[in-house]
Amino acid sequence: MSQYGTTRGPPPGKNNIDYHTTLFRRLSWEGTVPLEIRVDPNELPANSDRGLACYFIQAPRVSYMPLLVPEIRRFLMDVVFDETAAKTLKEEDWWFEVDDGTLLKWHWPIGLIYDNHTILTTVRPGPSLAATSANPLRLILHLASPPNDKLLLSPTADACKLAFMGQLKEADFIRWGNTKRMTGLRKADQDGLWEGIKEHNFDDYWRVASKVTPTMTSNRPQSPGPPPSSVSMHGRPPSADTVGPPERDGAYNVRSVPVRLYLPDGPVIQDLVPPLLEDGTPHTLSHFLTTHTPLLFPAQPPAPPPSRSNPNPRPPAQPELAYPLVQGILTPLESEMAWLGACLAGADGWVNVCVGIARK
C-alpha cells in the first residue's frame, strides 16, 4: 500500500513488511527473561567453589535451553568446578528442573517455559510471579542421571533443532493445509532459521522467516480507508492500491492461526483458529478464550436496552477470573488472532497464550 511504499523505503511488493509488524516482531525477538541456574548441591564435584555455584542470565525468549548450555558450562568450568573433577562430567547427562520439581522441557522456547511457570504461580500460595516483575525463574541443573523417558528428547542442540523445524512445519500446515512454504525453502535457508536463533540475529532469522510467515499488509477486512492522495508520492492513482487481488500470504487469508492455549498446571489446548468468524468479522482473543475456556472467560452478557435516562448502556461488569499473556504481555482481549499470528508468534511460528488466574 502506498503509505508503506513511499515512507518506508522499499517499493511495495510481497515482502514489503509494514513498520508496525516489524516493530512487534522486533519487540518479541528482543524479549528476554531472567533465569537463575543453580547446580544441585548434592551433585557438585569434589573441590568445587560452592559459594559461586549459581549463574544468572537474561535469556532471549525465542531461544532454547540446549543453546544456553555451552555458556553455562563455560561459567561453571571457569569459576566453580575443580579442573580435575570437571573432566569426569559429561554434558549429555545434564538436565534441568524448575525448583519446584517440574522437569524442564528441552524443546520449549525459553519464553514459553517462563510464562508457563508464571501462570502456575498465579494459582499457588505465595507471591504470583505475574505481579512481581523481573523475578528470575529458578532452575536446578543436574549433572548426572537424566530421566530420559520423561525428558522425551535428548538434550542436544541437534535434537532441539529437529523439534524446532517440526514445529515450524506443523505451523505451516495449520496455516495453509500443506508444508510447501517450509519444504520449498532451500536447505541453507532452513538452516538459516535455526542459525538466526542460535546467534540471536533478528535480520538473519527474518530474512528467511518472512517467506513462511503471513504478512500484515493484506486486505484486512476492516482496514482503514486509503490514505489521502497527498501521501501518495508515486505516480499511481490511489485507487490502484485498493483494488489489487487479495494477498496470497496475508494473515487474514490463512486457513487457521497456529495457537496453543496453556492453563496453569495443564492442559495445553490446540484447535483450529480461523482468522475470520463465519460472519466475516475478525476472530478475536476474547472469542477464542470464550470458546475454549468459557468457565474462565464467560461470554459478556448483553447490555440492557437503551432507555431515556441511559441512552448508551454498557453490559454489566463481571469479575475478572483470568487473563491472557502472550510473550509475557497482558494481551488486550480485542486483539485479533490473525494479527497475533503475524506479529506476536514465537520463532517457531506458534502463538502461545498462557492464562493466569486473577487474585482477589
Tell me which residues in 64-123 interact with another protein (CB under 8 A).
Answer: 98, 100-102, 105, 107, 120, 122-123
Cα–Cα dist 50/132, whole Å:
29
Give yes or no for a contact between 341 and 254, defined as CB atoms under 8 angstroms apart: yes
Q: Listing from the earlier edge strand, what are the strands of the sheet with 268-270?
A: 268-270, 259-262, 351-357, 322-326, 329-330
Tell whether omega for the bond before 136 is within 30 degrees of 0, i.e. cis: no
**What 3-state class would DSSP assign to 284?**
strand
- 322 scored as a contact of another protein (CB under 8 A): yes
Helix (H) or strand (E) holding 165: helix 157-176
User: Which of 23, 27, 131, 321 touches another protein by CB under 8 A?
Assistant: 321
Name the minimum Å distance from CB 236 to another protein: 40
Name the minimum Å distance from CB 37 to another protein: 18
Instruction: Output b/e per residue, 51-71; b: 16+ Cβ within 10 A.
Output: eebebebebbbbbbbbbbbee
Residue among 118 and 218 whose Cβ is closer to another protein: 118
Tell me which residues in 229-258 interact with another protein (CB under 8 A).
Answer: 256
Give yes or no for a contact between 226 and 13, defined as CB atoms under 8 angstroms apart: no
How many amino acids of this chain bind another protein (CB under 8 A)? 50
Site string for another protein, 265-304 (x = CB under 8 A): xxxxxxxx--------------------x-xx--------
Instruction: Output b/e per residue, 273-302; b: 16+ Cβ within 10 A.
Output: bebbeeeeebbbbbbbbbebbeebbeeeee
Tell me which residues in 117-176 interact with another protein (CB under 8 A).
Answer: 120, 122-126, 128, 152-153, 162-163, 165-167, 169-170, 172-174
Tell me which residues in 18-57 interact with another protein (CB under 8 A).
Answer: none
Q: Give contact residues for another protein (rule: CB under 8 A).
A: 98, 100-102, 105, 107, 120, 122-126, 128, 152-153, 162-163, 165-167, 169-170, 172-174, 178-179, 183, 256, 260, 263-272, 293, 295-296, 319, 321-322, 357-360
